[in-house]
């Protein structure tokens, strides 16, 4: 089975189309950030998604996982635009799985309006809803020899200088029970969330930007015998050996699928015998695979 893990498309809306009354607090700062030079890094995202759809078809990808950050400011208009742009990649919808990034639920009113769920809820459901303890989380999806488990680490950050995440303890507790379910014993297990539990060098991310309860999360994942932890949020692809944390699986950060000059993703090829992982990159209008994961 071939699994493509991508993240952080940060689809850009022309700022002119965002109503001025929406520009307040953190959103205004986020908007200024974009105008201050960050925005152009995410230009041509639609062309890149088209190229990724071509890659997916050429390489017979079975399942696409996206670990969030579709937008810059989490506005309704952006979510609508992002859902439209991602739709060709999310075919068939039951083979596309996602969850929100911090940018998608930037402010509390987005949470309260349930906007992310309205546009992306069709890609977030559970085959084992008996384990969902916090809305739909954690969700479990089963495909042949694979299980994909999603936990939500994104939350609104009312303080503009903070972009840290947190997995609610009840989700971690349910994750622990899922991992103890004997029906998962022979499966490859992929746990996806937006925030990075570890950086490329194995250290935790800084407090204001990282996953606050990363240690608890990793401890909960220790029973996993084979598979991977998948995240985004940090806009660089990297793989981290989690042996120092007592885990038998590695962490993969999928960086950003669209960020100019850094476009990347991971492709996992899994069967009963083993797993190979290769990194995808973008050049001259097409995505291609590098020879090995360390390139
Ligand atoms: Fe991001
Ligand atoms: Fe993020």
Q: Domain coordinates of the chain in residue numbers? A: 2-289
Please give the distance, rounded to the nearest whole angstrom, from the Cα atom of residue 259 to the centre of ligand 2: 13
Which ligand sits closest to the CA of 105? 2
CA of 280 to the centre of ligand 1 (A): 18
Those residues whose C-beta lies under 8 Å from the C-beta of residue 21, and which sit 6 or more positions away, are none
Distance 195 CA to ligand 1 centre (A): 9
What is the predicted pLDDT for the residue at 23? 58
Q: How far is the CA of 270 from the centre of ligand 1 (A)?
A: 27
Q: Say what percent of the chain tops pLDDT 90.
A: 76
Q: Around Cβ 291, how many Cβ atoms within 10 Å?
A: 8
**Region of poorest pLDDT, from 12-21, 34-43, 63-72, 245-254:** 12-21
pLDDT at 101 over 60: yes
- What confidence score (pLDDT) does residue 43 get? 79
CA of 186 to the centre of ligand 1 (A): 33
State the distance from the centre of ligand 2 to the C-alpha of 162, rounded, in angstroms.
11
Residue 294 has a pLDDT of: 45
Q: Would you state the structure tokens that stand for residue 110, as one six-digit string? A: 């987005």
Distance between CA atoms of residues 31 and 218, nearest Å: 34
State yes or no: pLDDT of 265 exceeds 80. Answer: yes
Mean pLDDT, to the nearest integer, of 204-225?
97
pTM here? 0.93
Does 249 or 24 have the greater pLDDT score?
A: 249
CA 239 – ligand 1 centroid, Å? 17
What value does the mean pLDDT of the chain take? 90
d(CA 44, CA 77): 18
104: left (phi over 0), alpha (psi -120 to 50) or beta: alpha
Residues comprising the chain, all counted: 295
Query: Would you identify the CATH topology of the domain 2-289?
Result: Purple Acid Phosphatase; chain A, domain 2 (3.60.21)
Chain segment 152-191, per-residue pLDDT in tens: 999 887 776 788 999 999 999 999 999 999 999 999 999 9
Q: What angle, 0 to 180 degrees and rounded to 10, lies between the N-to-C axes of helices 76-86 and 45-58?
A: 30
Protein residues within 5 Å, CB atom, of ion ligand 1: 8, 69
Q: Kindly identify the ligand whose nearest atom is closest to the C-alpha of 71.
A: 1
Residue 42 — pLDDT band, cuts 50, 70, 90? confident
How buried is residue 58: exposed, middle or buried, by Cβ count under 10 Å (0-12/13-18/19+)?
exposed
* pLDDT at residue 76, rounded to an integer: 85
Rounded CA gap, 3 and 57, in Å?
12
pLDDT in tens, 63-95: 999 999 999 888 888 899 999 999 999 999 999
What's the confidence (pLDDT) of residue 229? 98
Cis peptide, bond prior to residue 92, ω within 30 of zero = yes
Query: Distance, CA 287 to ligand 1 centroid (Å)?
Result: 20
pLDDT for 46 equals 86
Ligand 1 centroid – CA 102 distance (Å)? 8
Banded pLDDT at 273 (limits 50, 70, 90): confident
The sign of the CA dihedral 108, 113, 119, 122 is positive
Backbone angles phi, psi at 294, to 5 degrees: -90, 0
Residue 138: asked if its preceding bond is cis (omega within 30°), the reply is yes
| pLDDT score at 292 | 67
Cα separation, 28 vs 15, whole angstroms? 11
pLDDT of 118 strictly over 70: yes
What is the C-alpha separation between 48 and 59, in angstroms, rounded?
16
The region that residue 71 occupies, defined by phi over 0 for left and psi between -120 and 50 for alpha, beta otherwise, is beta
Compute the distance from residue 130 Cα to the ligand 1 centre, in Å: 31
């Amino acid at each position: 089975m071939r699994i493509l893990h991508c993240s952080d498309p940060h689809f850009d809306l022309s700022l002119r189309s965002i109503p001025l009354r929406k520009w307040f607090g953190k959103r205004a700062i986020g908007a200024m950030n974009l105008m201050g030079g960050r925005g152009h890094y995410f230009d041509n995202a639609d062309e890149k998604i088209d190229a990724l759809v071509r890659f997916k078809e050429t390489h017979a990808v079975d399942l696409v996982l996206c670990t969030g950050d579709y937008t810059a400011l989490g506005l309704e208009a952006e979510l609508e635009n992002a859902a439209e742009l991602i739709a060709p990649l999310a075919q068939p919808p039951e083979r596309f799985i996602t969850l929100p990034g911090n940018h998608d639920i930037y402010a509390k009113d987005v949470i309260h309006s349930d906007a992310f769920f309205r546009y992306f809820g069709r890609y977030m459901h559970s085959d084992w809803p008996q384990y969902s303890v916090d809305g739909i989380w954690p969700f479990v999806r089963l495909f042949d020899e694979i299980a994909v488990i999603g936990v939500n680490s994104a939350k609104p950050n009312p303080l503009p200088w903070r972009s840290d995440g947190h997995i609610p303890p009840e989700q971690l507790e349910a994750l622990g029970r899922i991992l103890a379910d004997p029906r998962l014993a022979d499966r490859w297990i992929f746990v996806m969330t937006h925030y990075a539990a570890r950086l490329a060098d194995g250290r935790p991310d800084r407090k204001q930007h990282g996953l606050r309860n990363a240690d608890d999360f990793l401890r909960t994942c220790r029973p996993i015998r084979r598979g991977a932890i998948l995240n985004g949020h940090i806009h660089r692809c990297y793989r981290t050996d989690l042996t120092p944390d007592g885990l038998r699986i590695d962490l993969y950060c999928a960086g950003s699928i669209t960020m100019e000059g850094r476009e990347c993703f991971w492709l996992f090829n899994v069967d009963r015998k083993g797993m190979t992982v290769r990194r995808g990159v973008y050049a001259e209008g097409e995505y291609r695979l590098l020879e090995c994961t360390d390139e």
